[in-house]
Structure 1
């Protein structure tokens, strides 16, 4: 881990939300390392700095100031669909996966560290996700044409 990396993105995929996809303050992780040719001819690259599973992060406790947790949100998608390639898929045990993900993200945060949680509730409601952690969000915002994407901010308790 770079000494400059104070932010962890354990599900970075193609880093779509990042202004600087090579920001040295962040460590980009994902369980996938792959490329896909999209239907419009563009290449989608999932190239993490470190291969990692958000359910079992390879870091000591309390080492990041911020974690950006944007896990896969799809429970169903075609095997060769661009949505699956772009966002990844949840497993059939997605509730336990997300519960473990929240636990791991909070574990690696320093006391009073910030967790930004991003979720699209097209297939699974945000309320179902928030029930999977004992941490309470500070505030959030809905975005997108149909306001299905939620940005939720947490601050880790001491």
Structure 2
């Protein structure tokens, strides 16, 4: 794993280093293929997911097609419903859980890229929100991404007692929502 944020504390004016803590300041709780990241290896971020795998896809235009691997390779294999991190561990958390379960198919592109929900999706998302806020430091920010192609955002936001700060719709059909929270 790449070097993460270093927090070095020195004792008064003596210049003696007492401890060196290497820790990430950002957590991506469901990193998948890291699609929206500018730097997919950002050293400030710990990328976690419960899945690991590779899928080869066709790229390019007709006549110039090639094949390229898409990879789900988290820094650490972790289930967002039960994360092994201490309380208040991260300044910023990204929570982009699976958001399809009806028509995605178990082995298709959507299933690989995003993962799939199952019948317990309400409990899973509720537990995920609780874990993300637990590991988020006070006054830290959580960015939640949700595509409401199958489940409306309002139903999902009812699963957390935390009040959203603001949000934005995006995508061709404006079905993807980016919602910001701050931990009071």
Alignment TM class, shorter chain as reference: over 0.9
Of 109, 119, 142, 2:136 maps to 109
Runs of 4+ in 1 over 6 A off after TM superposition: none
Distance 1:137 1:79 in 2: 32
The TM-score normalised by the length of structure 2 is 0.82
Of 80, 88, 112, 1:54 maps to 80
The structure with more strand, counted as a fraction of residues = 2
Structure 1 unmatched ranges of 5 or more: none
Kindly indicate whether the alpha-carbon contact (under 8 Å) linking 1:137 and 1:154 is maintained by their aligned counterparts in 2: yes
Secondary structure at the aligned position of 1:115 is classed as: strand
Give 1:3-152 correspondences, 5 Å limit.
3-40=22-59, 41-76=67-102, 77-152=104-179
Secondary structure at the aligned position of 1:37 is classed as: strand
**How many positions carry a matched residue from both structures?**
157
Shift of 1:42: 2.3
Deviations 1:55-76 (A, max 9, x none): 0011000010000000011112
Kindly indicate whether the alpha-carbon contact (under 8 Å) linking 1:4 and 1:24 is maintained by their aligned counterparts in 2: no
Larger radius of gyration: 2
The TM-score normalised by the length of structure 1 is 0.95
Secondary structure at the aligned position of 2:125 is classed as: helix
Q: Which has the higher contact order (CA 8 A, sep 6+)?
A: 1
Distance 1:97 1:42 in 2: 32
RMSD over equivalenced CA pairs, Å: 1.2
Deviations 1:115-137 (A, max 9, x none): 00000000111001100000000
